[in-house]
Amino acid sequence: MWKKGVTLATAAIIFASAAANVSAASGRDYISIVGSSTVYPFATTVAEQFGKTSKFKTPKIESTGSGGGMKLFCAGSDIDTPDITNASRRIKYSEYEKCQKNGVTEIVEVKIGYDGIVLANSKAAAQLSLGKKDIFLALAKEVPDPKGGEKLIANPYTTWKEVNPSLPDSKIEVLGPPPTSGTRDAFVELAMEGGCQQIDWIKARKETDKKHFKSVCHTVREDGAYIEAGENDNLIVQKLEANPKAIGIFGFSFLDQNGDKIQGSVVEGEEPTFENIAAGNYPVSRPLYCYVKKNHVGVVPGMAEFLAEFSSEKAWGEEGYLADKGLIPMPAKERQQFAADVAALKPLLMAK
């Protein structure tokens, strides 16, 4: 009898204290960040550094994915909503509109750097040199009939050599991210659509039938040559080691960490190296962003200082600690531009 009494009493106490705390939580004393899992490793590094060197608490960073982050970010402007969201792509107009509608009228856009998407294989195999067109032909669901003419057929290629005679005679076997991933979106847009553009008659379609153009260029084959390997890039690296014939698609930081086991394929004659991506030569690289709620600056303690830390040279500069983590810095001029915008909290204006 008394045992149950005790547990019930504890329950009551916990509830009471929790209720008291909930009302106290409205004055949040830490920064709340949500968003992309690609930006997560970089944002967390800055957050940790910020927590150690400033008098403020370490920001809390949730890994929700770009889309999920935007949804939370745009849900409202009150203090319960996140202060910052990270994205591995630019904010969409529809998201911007939703933000405006929900009272998040002033958003500061910060580009934080670039991320290269690499195609890599095991060091046990030869390094590949691919064109964007090869990537499109090897991975699209429907490709132009090799016999010629403006006709699309289901992708008939099974080996790289069939796609391009200069490539090795090995089976097409590509491990990549699933459609929910921002990396996949960027890969499809930059590499596959890029290859698509190199085929004249499909390129012409872009003007006449944009929807069809997109569906042709953005649809990845589903016959087993492209294997959805999940969001975990470490897993893809391990699979590449075990299977030298396979090629994996993932972010540059994983190539950077595993240079002894895997090699990045050359795309359009450019090697996926830090320097090449930073210089903008490597064609498959995308910008990373974070979006800040202007009306939370000054309300949540440490916001201005955190943004200053993020946009400082020691963080996102060429020798900064984010570069050590695999973030490709922006050119110096762009960095200056964005640092100034951040300091001035210049709100983003978007037109349809």
Partner 1 sequence: MLVGKKESTMDRVNRGLARRYRRERWFRLFGLSAIVTSVCFIGLLFVSIGANGWSAFQQTEILLDIHFDTEQFDVDNLSTANYGALVKNSMQTLFPDVAGRSEKRELSKLVSSGAPYILQKMVMQDTGIIGSSQKIWLPADDEVDMFQKGYILRDVMEGDRRLSDKQIGWIDQLFAEGRLEKKFNSTFFTAGDSREPELAGIRGAVAGSLFTLAVTLVLSFPIGVATAVYLEEFAPRNRWTDLVEVNINNLAAVPSIVFGLLGLAVFLNVFGMPRSAPLVGGLVLTLMTLPTIIIASRASLKSVPPSIREAALGVGASKMQAITHHILPLAMPGMMTGTIIGMAQALGETAPLLMIGMVAFIVDVPTAVTDPATVLPVQIYLWADSPERAFVERTSAAIMVLLAFLISMNAMAVFLRRKFERRW
Per CB under 8 A, residues contacting partner 1 are 1, 4, 7-8, 10-11, 14, 17-18, 21-22, 24-25, 30, 32, 34, 37, 40-41, 43-45, 47-48, 51-52, 57-58, 60-64, 80, 123, 231-234, 251, 253-254, 256-260, 319, 321, 325-326
Q: How far is the CB of 72 from partner 1 (least distance, A)?
A: 8
CA neighbor of 242 nearest in space, from 197, 175, 188, 300: 175
Give the residue with the Cβ less far from partner 1, 198 or 312.
312
Give dist(CA 298, CA 94) in Å, integer. 28
Q: How far is the CB of 232 from partner 1 (least distance, A)?
A: 6
β-strand partners of 266: 129
Give the residue with the Cβ less far from partner 1, 57 or 218.
57
Give the residue with the Cβ less far from partner 1, 225 or 321.
321
Give the residue with the Cβ less far from partner 1, 44 or 100.
44
Tokens of 272: 């996926």
Give the residue with the Cβ less far from partner 1, 82 or 144.
82
Q: How far is the CB of 63 from partner 1 (least distance, A)?
A: 6
What are the residue ranges of helices labelled H in 166-251?
182-187, 193-197, 200-208, 210-218, 233-242
CA neighbor of 236 nearest in space, from 271, 212, 262: 262
Give the residue with the Cβ less far from partner 1, 25 or 204.
25
Q: How far is the CB of 184 from partner 1 (least distance, A)?
A: 16
Give dist(CA 327, CA 324) in Å, integer. 7
Q: How far is the CB of 162 from partner 1 (least distance, A)?
A: 31
Tell me if 250 sits within 8 A of 120, measured CB to CB: yes
β-strand partners of 342: none
Q: How far is the CB of 251 from partner 1 (least distance, A)?
A: 8
Give dist(CA 167, CA 138) in Å, integer. 11
Give how far Cα 218 sits from Cα of 55, 157, 163, 185, Å: 47, 17, 18, 9
β-strand partners of 169: none
Give the residue with the Cβ less far from partner 1, 173 or 233.
233
Q: How far is the CB of 218 from partner 1 (least distance, A)?
A: 26
Give how far Cα 21 sits from Cα of 26, 192, 323, Å: 9, 51, 40
